[in-house]
Chains A and B, each alone.
Chain A
Amino acid sequence: MSDIWNWQTAADVFWKLIKVVPVTLEATFLGFALAAVLGLVWALMRRSRFRPVSVLSYWLIEFVRSTPLLVQLFFLYLALPRFPVFVIGVTGLGLHYSAYLAEVYRGGIEAVSQGQWEAARALNFSPLKTWTRIILPQAIPPIIPVMGNYLIVLFKETPLLFAINVVEMMSVAKKFGSHTFQYTEAYTIVGVLFFLMSYPSSLLVRWAEQRMALKQ
């Protein structure tokens, strides 16, 4: 038994891993912020009446969704050699999830009734004010739970950053393992830490979902 699992080793690696949790969280939140902004941009471009813009957005979304994140990360890593790996990692995560969030935004926007657009036009709102005052404030609250789910999924994908040499939990665990040959403890603790963070978040999302359902 002790060959496979050693509590002392587990405690050692736990403290090492805790130190890089902030890196994972930073990558998660920065990546998600980027995804939220870019996703909205794609969604708005997709609705453009100017064909080339909407077609560009369509193919961008489809391309990003149809290729693996790992491949995208490697591509950015090789294409942008001068950038810090953390920046490349955040960009990759943000870009990848922006394609998914664009679809989420699209659903939210399409759920706003046509009458709202007409009322805004009748009251002479500018296109910008129509979006910021009328459409988005109605389109976004219902999609917050779905966005929350994507935040958790993105969080669980951060170990992929290990592939481009970002110092986060996976790479620390691997390094620890190669020094001590105690891989089991290292990777198990990584899993436990992910669970401890993502499970409460998923409860929060579920609570938000229920609140939204009540509102409607």
Chain B
Amino acid sequence: MALPKVLSRSEDTRKQRTQLIKKTQEGLKVGPNQRSAETTPVVRYRGVKKSFGEVEVLKGIDLDIMPGEKVAVIGPSGSGKTTLARLLMTLERPSGGIIEVEGEPLYHKRVGEGLVPADERHIARVRSKIGMVFQHFNLFPHRTVLQNVTEAPIHVKKMPRRLAEEKARAMLEKVGLIEHIDKYPGQLSGGQKQRVAIARALVMEPKIMLFDEPTSALDPELVGEVLAVIKEIAEKGDMAMMLITHEMQFAREVADRVLFTDGGKIVEQGTPEEIFEHPKSERLQAFLARFRNGFGGGSQ
């Protein structure tokens, strides 16, 4: 499948959004506890740390993602970019710091002025605003394509089956899989599986969607179809996205902002142009040079 050549989303809206995002970020600089009157970020990391045993994977992350913003995260393997997403999806617990979703702490509850660790119920409620697409798809092998997509609406959102199926069909139509609706995941190609996984996450209507190297496990010839679907969602939707990827060209075309992580820190960030055309830090320059020489891809 050929990739759509250009962005159908106009550059104007993209610039507007970038401006709005910048403005809000400047507004935030007043003080960490003072929230912007204009827009609350959909996700905010403050001093977020994560260690696995002795190894510190994230060494204090500060990051705001605005509603609708498309953020690409690039960086060498082991730089902590996947952990960044996994902490937000609550697949790992941070070792320190605060993560907020729409102004509400994810792992904490506000009690007066302070914060106390939250219970599972609170975490589940906040988590419902987050969706994730995995590198290895993680489809339910014992359910058909349609059931994979309706499972959570029916059993988590308590949506009537008929309505859930209607929505699921619309979503599967969108990702181009309507004719495979009754197949099992085992009968699909990797690209098709990943598109089902995207539909499954989308149908829950998250405020932010995390894509954790969504094409890294795919055969090269299947990468295009998945990227095309993600791109279309990015252009049409007002959902925020965090795209962890090794596809530089894709990051450049889709993202409003690109983060470069290395050694557990966000080393540099900016518009795709700033990052790819005018990289400031040596590490980013070296990283991009490796990619241009064709040695960068394929982290597993």
Contact = CB atoms under 8 A, between A and B. Distances in A.
A123 B134 contact: no
B226 interface: no
A126 B124 contact: yes
A115 interface: yes
A118 interface: yes
Contacts of A118: 89, 91, 134, 138
A118 B137 CA distance: 11
Given A126-B156, A129-B156, A133-B151, A121 B138 contact: no
B141 A138 contact: yes
A77 to B, nearest CB: 43
A134 interface: yes
Secondary structure dominating the interface of A: helix
Dominant secondary structure at the B interface: loop
Given A118-B91, A137-B142, A138-B142, A124 B152 contact: yes
A141 B141 CA distance: 12
B72 interface: no
Contacts of A126: 124, 156
B204 A124 contact: yes
A121 B156 CA distance: 11
Contacts of A124: 124, 127-128, 152, 156, 204
B156 A122 contact: no
Contacts of B138: 113, 115-116, 118-119
Nearest to B86: A118
Interface string A199-211: 0000000000000
A134 B131 CA distance: 18
Contacts of B136: 115
For chain B, which range describes its interface: under 10, 10 to 19, 20 to 34, or 35 or more residues?
20 to 34
Interface string A116-148: 101101111110010001100110010000000
Contact of A122 (B91, B139, B141, B151): B91
Interface in B72-107: 89-91
Interface string B99-143: 000000000000000000000000010011011101011111110
Interface in B124-170: 124, 127-128, 130-132, 134, 136-142, 151-152, 155-156
B70 interface: no
Contacts of A119: 134, 138-140
Nearest to A138: B142
Question: Shortest 7 CB-CB distances between A and B: which pairs?
Answer: A115-B138, A119-B138, A123-B152, A122-B132, A124-B128, A124-B156, A129-B155
